[in-house]
Amino acid sequence: MKLNDFGLLLTSAINNIDENTNIKRELILISDKHRRNLIKNKENINKKQEFYLTNYENKREELRMSYDVYLANRKILLDKWKETGSIADLKNLVAYRFENIENIPNIYTYDIKISKLK
């Protein structure tokens, strides 16, 4: 039985009950409460996903892009040193460092358990 079938059965059961009975009101209250809980859970998941994207995934992508730029520039310096073989070009190659090293934790899920202990 699919959720849609369950919804249709529940709707027909609610419509067949008298207006004066408490069962109909209780069913409506339960279904409204369930709907609000689903919306609240969806909002919580969206907040967690947004937090993960901004704090982990986007930072990883920025680090990858800056490292690709570093590698391209380093290749230019390496090719120049290979052509000339001079000490000055070797010094430039050795002095060129990747400075944007950032420690991003190995978290690959939006469901992050945050400890309340310090």
**pLDDT digits 0-9 by tens, 39-58:** 999 999 898 889 888 888 88
pLDDT of residue 48: 87
pTM of the model: 0.59
SS3 state at 65: helix
Rounded Cα–Cα distance for residues 30 and 37 (Å): 10
- Looking up tokens 């909002």 gives 43
Contacts of 37-42 with CB under 8 Å at 24 or more apart are: none
pLDDT of residue 115: 60
Least confident of 24-38, 62-76, 98-112: 98-112
